[in-house]
Structure 1
Amino acid sequence: MLIDFNNLKINNLDFETDFEKKINFFLEEWFSDSRTVKVQTSGSTGTPKVFEIEKNRMIHSAKMTCNFLGLQEGDTAFLCLPVEYISGKMMIVRSLERKLKLMISEPSLKPLEKLHSETDFCALTPLQVENSLDKIHLIKNLIIGGAAVSESLKKRISGFTTHIYETYGMSETLSHIALKPITPQPEEYFTVFEDVSISTDERGCLKIFAPDLNVEVLQTNDLVEIKNERQFRFLGRVDNVINSGGAKIFPEQLEALVKKEIPNEAVFLGVKDESLGQKLILIIEGEESEDLIKKVLETQFEKNFHKPKEIIFVREIPRTPNGKVNRRELLDLITP
């Protein structure tokens, strides 16, 4: 299905599938007299909730992304994300704001199977990218969100000429407020959009002020290193920090390091330990493998205490509906 937002007549559109009907419901909500629309959070960092967002703020967010990527009226976009969440809703709003031609595909792990021609813009989760490598070359501008992009995936997409970006944002920032290039020229730091200010609190956690998106200063639990007024590097979530024997360990950094050596999903957790407080363990998704264990133990960790005290293999690592690793559920899974 294709929706031309330069010549939109909702009544003439034939919404057949459940996914298309959800899009229709959102469009009806968007064109209603209400100043707001309802958005559901993923629940990856807390209890899932539904809250209302002002439409004019969503338009500001859409303009930021479209301007950053240089999208023009009449360009094409491809939607294959759930429209219950801000990620899918914002793909529609960007198409509305910039009058794009929006192609619709049911959200799945292989959403690009039916894509046979070039498109100017698409948003995917890392899992969707992993299952769509044979079609990525058809996308001119690709943003990846919903979860961190693993080092192994970065390697697999490094040869593409497509402009691929990792996103930084949350529901409260109306999708992302910063992008980090992965290809064709990778960068270490996220670059924030125009009219977005960043700073840190006493913990070193990122504070965001984007008055066009949210009237309040948004306090995150993300530990960052700020390079300049427009760039920052993500270190990890403060609530994921592992305190082992008095040493603070950032699991996201260790995961990025290990994933340069192994192709499997890998998650570092801290489990209760009488002597250390928390014992550092590594969970690897897949069948137990001595070769994988050897590669992990041969990894050049910066500190000796960064090496996991134990390595556990699980068939499948639990994830939230939009693909993020569910650390709380994983911890429950591997502890009695």
Structure 2
Amino acid sequence: MGKIYFENSIYTFEHIRQGLWKERDLYFHQALTFAQQWLLGQESFEIGTSGSTGKPKNIQIQRAHMKASALATKEYFRIEYSSKILCCLNTWMIAGKMMIVRGLEWDAEIYLIKPVANPLQEAWLPLDLAFAAMVPMQVQACLDQENSLNKLKQIENLIIGGAPSSGALIEELKANQINAFQTFGMTETVSHIALANISEEALLYKTLPGVEIGTDEQSRLWLKGPMTGFRTIQSNDIVDILNPGQFHWLGRADFVINSGGVKVYPEIVEDKIQGIVFEHFGSTNYFISALPDAKLGQKVILIVEGESPNVSFEGLTESMKRVVNRYHLPKEVIFLPKFVYTASGKIKRTETIKLLK
């Protein structure tokens, strides 16, 4: 029989089914209430979306689809029943809820941690975790602390989602030989539908068992599988499909820039210039966007969070020319004191750009 561990308490799945737990804080109550609903056979669940590309909203997700997603992940990683897994994500969102579902369906030992920056700092966590999910910010915090890094290295399978991992983070994971995977998915697809092994040369996404993919006339990915009830979901992600089960992610269609007839994918440029941005402006948040331009239609710009330092734009451009095609170079750098973020920490690009007006 599986169990949920929280701080100094242990609850069997039967305890949770019967509601035999003492009230603690909101996070604990929310997680165990959801677990109880699952164990009692509830058929649909209200899930909140992040709002990174639009207004946050609540949608209904079916039990059968969540169960299919958990099974597909188990098959992909060959997770054994009764394994130890870590849930350190917001259990109101799909990523956190699916960690609970996986644990319940895998009859696992679930170690429940509040979604803090460094979830591995808790001394009571075991070292032999078979599976864990984190956002990039959490992974970086674990890498930066020696004790947490040692624990991170011992996680058998780590999935990273919520936002793309930076090139620097990927290189650090490789250097420490951590078995990590970047996820691709959305709330509507019940968590991830594809995974890219961080250790590979380029992020090549491989679909979960049973998932079918294709693209529309704008190269935007569509998909269907057991976790969507085999209903086709149209995404707004531009991809390059290599074969029926593998693809490269290029970026969001919402953000593609057409500068003088040249398509610029901001996320790809951002990844390439990270080291240069940090060298000139320090470790700060930034993104590539565009402004209207009479000659080009749209001109590429770099938006940086923080105050403007005394940095030569010409020197910055010369550095970027080493890693970026000249047609993709930012024509201007703009500084904003503070970006707009979602509750899960993603930059809300559209809302942030409005601050320029």
TM-score, normalised to structure 2, is 0.86
C-alpha offsets along residues 266-310 of structure 1, whole Å, 9 cap, x if unaligned? 300112233332221102234544569645541224532211011
Distance 2:12 2:26 in 1: 24
1:284 to 2:299 alignment = no
1:275 to 2:278 alignment = no
SS of residue in 1 equivalent to 2:111: strand
Q: Report the equivalent of 2:252.
A: 237
Matched to 1:9, the amino acid is H
Q: Report the equivalent of 2:352.
A: 330
- The farther-off stretch of 309-318 and 96-105 is 309-318
Distance 2:295 2:266 in 1: 20
Which structure 2 residues correspond to residues 113-262 of structure 1 after superposition, within 5 A? 113-115=121-123, 116-118=125-127, 119-133=129-143, 134=145, 135=148, 136-183=152-199, 185-262=200-277
Distance 2:294 2:311 in 1: 31
SS of residue in 1 equivalent to 2:342: coil
SS of residue in 1 equivalent to 2:131: strand
- The farther-off stretch of 74-83 and 296-305 is 296-305
Structure 1 residue 117 displacement after superposition? 3.0
Q: Report the equivalent of 1:2.
A: 5
C-alpha offsets along residues 118-166 of structure 1, whole Å, 9 cap, x if unaligned? 1221111111111111322242211000001111111222222331000
| Contact preservation (8 Å) 2:68, 2:226 | no
| Contact preservation (8 Å) 2:35, 2:101 | no
Structure 1 residue 316 displacement after superposition? 3.9
Distance 2:156 2:97 in 1: 21
> In 2 relative to 1, CA 33–129 (structure 1 residues): closer, same or farther, beyond 3 Å?
closer
Number of aligned residue pairs: give it: 334
| Contact preservation (8 Å) 1:172, 1:214 | no
Distance 1:243 1:252 in 2: 14
Distance 2:105 2:11 in 1: 9
> In 2 relative to 1, CA 32–7 (structure 1 residues): closer, same or farther, beyond 3 Å?
closer
Structure 1 residue 191 displacement after superposition? 0.5
Which structure 2 residues correspond to residues 1-40 of structure 1 after superposition, within 5 A? 2=5, 7-10=13-16, 11-32=19-40, 34-40=42-48
| Contact preservation (8 Å) 2:75, 2:209 | no
Q: Report the equivalent of 1:298.
A: 319
SS of residue in 1 equivalent to 2:269: helix
Structure 1 residue 52 displacement after superposition? 1.1
Structure 2 alignment gaps of length 5 or more: none
- The farther-off stretch of 10-19 and 105-114 is 10-19
- The farther-off stretch of 18-27 and 283-292 is 283-292
Structure 1 residue 96 displacement after superposition? 0.6
> In 2 relative to 1, CA 152–162 (structure 1 residues): closer, same or farther, beyond 3 Å?
closer
C-alpha offsets along residues 291-334 of structure 1, whole Å, 9 cap, x if unaligned? 6964554122453221101112334433211222210122012x
Distance 1:162 1:301 in 2: 26
- Aligned CA RMSD, in angstroms, stands at 2.2
| Contact preservation (8 Å) 2:196, 2:204 | yes
Distance 2:337 2:309 in 1: 12
SS of residue in 1 equivalent to 2:68: helix
- The farther-off stretch of 266-275 and 36-45 is 266-275
| Contact preservation (8 Å) 1:297, 1:307 | no
Q: Report the equivalent of 2:80.
A: 72
Structure 1 residue 220 displacement after superposition? 1.1
Structure 1 residue 212 displacement after superposition? 4.3
Distance 1:142 1:313 in 2: 35
Distance 2:41 2:105 in 1: 18
Which structure 2 residues correspond to residues 94-113 of structure 1 after superposition, within 5 A? 94-113=102-121
> In 2 relative to 1, CA 34–79 (structure 1 residues): closer, same or farther, beyond 3 Å?
closer
Structure 1 residue 211 displacement after superposition? 3.7
Distance 1:157 1:31 in 2: 36
> In 2 relative to 1, CA 324–214 (structure 1 residues): closer, same or farther, beyond 3 Å?
farther
Structure 1 alignment gaps of length 5 or more: none
The structure carrying a bigger helix percent of its residues is 2
Structure 1 residue 213 displacement after superposition? 2.7
> In 2 relative to 1, CA 15–323 (structure 1 residues): closer, same or farther, beyond 3 Å?
same
C-alpha offsets along residues 59-97 of structure 1, whole Å, 9 cap, x if unaligned? 110011122122111211111111111000000000011
